[in-house]
Structure 1
Amino acid sequence: MGFLQRIFQREEAEQSYAPLAPDGERIVDEEQREYSRTDYYVFLLLGVAMLWAWNMFLAAAPYFQRRFDSDERLLRNFQSTELAVSTAGSLGSMIVLTKLQANASYPKRIISSLILNIVVFTLLAISTRVFLGVSAGAYFAFLMLVVFSASLATALCQNGVFAYVASFGREEYTQGIMTGQGIAGVLPCVAQIVSVLSVSPKQTQEGAPQESSKSAFIYFLTATVISAFTLVAFVYLLSKPRSREQLSPALDDEEEYPGNAPITRKPVPMMSLLGKLYWIAGAVFLTFAITMFYPVFTQKILSVRDPASSSRLFQPAVFIPLGFLFWNIGDLVGRVIPGIPGLTLTARPRLLFTLAVGRLAFIPMYLLCNIGGKGAVIGSDFSYLFILQVLFGISNGYIGSNCMMGFVEWVHPEEREAAGGFMSLCLVAGLTAGSFLSFFAASA
């Protein structure tokens, strides 16, 4: 405790970890852009589209279990492999995109990501209606290709959106993106549960969780609609005169500022950004690395009720998405809280880092649950859903949002776009590290 007290005392007394203005205060942009509710909702929608694919793959675990129930090895490891391929693809792409700052067109990156998502989700929806007789191995190869493509789209969107929104200089817009990401976690789970309950239940001889191809088709197709709608909304945002005039650093080098002044963007070294943002960058890395354990446990934890006599709500095909739903509800609440004045920690980077480390305590709690139907130390679905999942989700949303909102306070205005790309890189790096560590959880 004395160690923690010394850390927090140094933080308040010195505030020396971050770049400082001449008077020793955090950097304040005196030419901050006027807030627009329309812009906020467009960024919120971009947040939804950014993580819809990610959460869709997680919530669709029962459908994928059905496709792999003939291969025990694939059934056991597909979730961890899916996470590893997705996060590794995103990380590799993010590293490249972060280095390509000078000539970057962030709007083009966002548009490209949305188009790629439309193609990927359409193919995935089609796969639920054709080639249903292919082997588990062949479908696994197809799924990994789809996951990798979706990870490239996610990387393009994350890099583009966080860099683009940073140039606005408004934390509200970043909070809108984070809230949209939280919504992207809730809605796919709801869509998954509704799509399963809307059709008659099916069971294989082995008793694997089931979901009809019809419900999966509807479920995956919603992702295509979301991406298409977001694309239209973003193009509308770009068409607004204020967006082109005040966000000129996000445009192509071939374009010009009003007044015919040529656009230039000076690259900011990543090590320079790390030296200014290491507490916040470390906090966001740890937060999402620890978070990556929850999908592996959630797709294996079953209700403590007897499946033979319980309602469909507690059958694996619904209960697993229900577990994801409660975690994502908590995550959404956590992302909304920093938008309330007085409840943010953007000025306390060391505290954010400490809270991120403290999230490690949630991981052993999953071992007390009904993993694989082997029994639970605490035989309560309420404790699992309302306490473990919700609180773990709240901690993720709250710490992550504070980090992604707060970094603009510690860099100069001309560094914001680069810092936005750097922070999204740290986020994806945390997801990647956690996804590979999650293989240990898969053997639990």
Structure 2
Amino acid sequence: METPPKAPFGVILVFYMLGIAALLPWNFFITAETYWQYKLRNVSMGSEWDSDNATLTNLQLSFTPTLVLISNVVATLFFIVTSAIVRRVPELIRMLGSLTLSLLAMLSVTLLTVINSDSWQTTFFVITMVIVALLNVCVAVIQGSTTGLAGMFHAVCMTSLLSGQTLAGIFSSLARIVSLAVGEEPIQSGLIFFTIADVFLVITLAGYVYLTNTEHYKNVKQELTKNSTVNTTTPRSDFTVYITVLKKIWPLGFTLGLTLLIVLSVFPGVVVYVTSTMPESTWTQIYFQPTITFLLFNVMDFMGREMLRFVQWPSHKGWLLHVLGASRVIFIPLLLLCNGDNKSFPTLFNNDAYYIVILILFGITNGYFIGLPFIYYPRFVEKDELEVGGAIMVALLGVGMVLGSLISPALIAVWGPQ
């Protein structure tokens, strides 16, 4: 398939924004951990609640596992649904609908921060999980739709979309570090995080509307429509198109899913138990995990995706790409061998430098091997199959995400945190 024309700066910027918007709300949900713990605290302790010393309630203990379970299951289900409906539901409806619903969901979360829910904590918990489910429906539709959309444009747009997704993690990690530095007030920090997500979703909505009105967008769409009309002699059913595209790109989808399986099996479930080998200090107790585990990993993940602008190796031909992608499984035992307090798994790397180097390589290769299959898949499909192909790739990514999340508890048990 011929290479699409180079995209102008404004179009590239919108794809960055779409990548960020897909994952920023989710990242802020995780970043605002202290806020959720405060809202679900033992209210008999009043305003003097201390997150470090208080006994956790059942709602506090179940919040993060429930959040992760609902998010992964709902997102993966709708990754698959999105891949099945891309030919039936117009892109404009999918994108504007999902972005608007995401905004409404986040506005609801923001409103709940200023409402005293101490007397109805269980109801607050249930409402939050319903919002999480709705938000992940939107995330799945946005990711599936934007991936198919980026596949129609020059490869720089796909790279920008993928890098934007990692920028969401970088922004939330920086926000977490800043909130720790200035002193966290749970309600205020939650309100700030969610308001930032609200504002960015509004800006992204405007950005997408701008994109659809650019001459570049109209020309790309017109060319695809013309190609589809010329080449389609016998109409194909949606199922036929789906199976045809799946047969063409399944090796790339497998490598993509395996990359997500590897990263989510240990990140963040296992690596949050890694501790610094330096003498106890504010750095080791407060800043080590947010800075090294989360910020450094996200920055390296971003760098790996940005590298694809300059280097795209191995090629899409042959099996070397898939072999190298599978070889990343070595990072699982390497990270399990890093330092941790009271762990039952052996420790081989008893210096922070080892952990940092391993995490740098882990992050860079993660971004690179997530990005490469997305960049290559348009070379295997026809122009009128690009959108379906992108949605299928995201669906296979979701399968890897769920499998990685299921493996993670077993690896945590192997680590043996006490």
Tell me, in whole angstroms, the C-alpha distance in 2 between the residues paired with 1:47 and 1:162. 9
Instruction: Show structure 2 runs of 5+ residues with no match.
Output: 42-53, 229-234
Tell me, in whole angstroms, the C-alpha distance in 1 between the residues paired with 2:89 and 2:371. 25
Residue 59 of structure 1 is aligned with which of 31, 50, 63?
Answer: 31
Which AA in structure 1 matches 2:85? L
Change (3 A) 1:364 1:72: farther
Whether 1:320 aligns to 2:293 is: no
Question: Displacement, 1:134?
Answer: 5.2
Q: CA RMSD in A?
A: 3.0
Does the Cα contact within 8 Å between 2:224 and 2:383 map onto a contact in 1? Answer: no
TM-score by length of 2: 0.83
Change (3 A) 1:394 1:136: farther
Corresponding residue of 2:161 = 177
Residue 148 of structure 1 is aligned with which of 133, 149, 167?
Answer: 133
SS for the counterpart of 2:2 is coil
Residue 339 of structure 1 is aligned with which of 292, 303, 309?
Answer: 309
Does the Cα contact within 8 Å between 1:109 and 1:157 map onto a contact in 2? Answer: yes
Corresponding residue of 1:207 = none
The Cα offsets for residues 192-223 of structure 1, whole Å up to 9 and x where unpaired, read as 21122122x6xxxxxxxxx6321222122211
Does the Cα contact within 8 Å between 1:55 and 1:184 map onto a contact in 2? Answer: yes
Which AA in structure 2 matches 1:175? T
The Cα offsets for residues 224-281 of structure 1, whole Å up to 9 and x where unpaired, read as 1111111111111112244234315999xxxxx9xxxxxx996353332222112111
Corresponding residue of 1:356 = 325
Instruction: Show structure 1 runs of 5+ residues with no match.
Output: 1-27, 202-210, 252-256, 258-263
SS for the counterpart of 1:295 is coil
Does the Cα contact within 8 Å between 2:22 and 2:142 map onto a contact in 1? Answer: yes
Tell me, in whole angstroms, the C-alpha distance in 1 between the residues paired with 2:172 and 2:236. 38
Does the Cα contact within 8 Å between 2:304 and 2:364 map onto a contact in 1? Answer: yes
Change (3 A) 1:222 1:84: same
Aligned residue-pair number: 389
1:28-427 alignment, distance < 5 Å: 28-29=1-2, 32-65=4-37, 67=40, 70-71=55-56, 78-131=63-116, 133=118, 137-168=122-153, 170-199=154-183, 212-248=186-222, 267=238, 268-293=240-265, 294-305=267-278, 310-311=281-282, 313-316=283-286, 318-322=287-291, 323-340=293-310, 342-348=311-317, 350-371=319-340, 377=347, 378-384=349-355, 386-427=356-397
Does the Cα contact within 8 Å between 1:106 and 1:250 map onto a contact in 2? Answer: no
Tell me, in whole angstroms, the C-alpha distance in 2 between the residues paired with 1:250 and 1:116. 29
Change (3 A) 1:135 1:287: farther
Tell me, in whole angstroms, the C-alpha distance in 2 between the residues paired with 1:271 and 1:84. 29
Tell me, in whole angstroms, the C-alpha distance in 1 between the residues paired with 2:367 and 2:381. 23
SS for the counterpart of 2:157 is helix
Change (3 A) 1:84 1:372: farther
Change (3 A) 1:145 1:225: same
Which AA in structure 2 matches 1:157? I
Tell me, in whole angstroms, the C-alpha distance in 2 between the residues paired with 1:212 and 1:120. 20
Report sequence identity in percent: 25
Tell me, in whole angstroms, the C-alpha distance in 2 between the residues paired with 1:413 and 1:246. 11
Does the Cα contact within 8 Å between 1:288 and 1:434 map onto a contact in 2? Answer: yes
Which AA in structure 2 matches 1:184? A
Question: Displacement, 1:70?
Answer: 4.3
Change (3 A) 1:355 1:78: farther
Greater than 6 Å deviation, 4+ residue runs:
none
SS for the counterpart of 2:103 is helix
Which AA in structure 1 matches 2:188? K
Tell me, in whole angstroms, the C-alpha distance in 1 between the residues paired with 2:411 and 2:318. 30
Does the Cα contact within 8 Å between 2:86 and 2:145 map onto a contact in 1? Answer: no
Tell me, in whole angstroms, the C-alpha distance in 1 between the residues paired with 2:67 and 2:313. 34
Tell me, in whole angstroms, the C-alpha distance in 2 between the residues paired with 1:149 and 1:41. 27
Change (3 A) 1:193 1:88: same
Higher helix fraction (1 or 2): 2
SS for the counterpart of 2:319 is helix
The Cα offsets for residues 378-426 of structure 1, whole Å up to 9 and x where unpaired, read as 3433433x22322211111000100111100111212111111111111
Tell me, in whole angstroms, the C-alpha distance in 2 between the residues paired with 1:325 and 1:145. 29
Tell me, in whole angstroms, the C-alpha distance in 2 between the residues paired with 1:321 and 1:174. 28
SS for the counterpart of 1:104 is coil
Which AA in structure 2 matches 1:215? S
The Cα offsets for residues 96-147 of structure 1, whole Å up to 9 and x where unpaired, read as 2211233221132122222222222223233333335257655543442232
TM-score by length of 1: 0.78
Question: Displacement, 1:152?
Answer: 0.8
Corresponding residue of 1:17 = none
Corresponding residue of 2:51 = none
Which AA in structure 1 matches 2:251? W
Does the Cα contact within 8 Å between 2:162 and 2:305 map onto a contact in 1? Answer: yes
The Cα offsets for residues 39-93 of structure 1, whole Å up to 9 and x where unpaired, read as 1111111111112123323333454455466446665564443222112111111
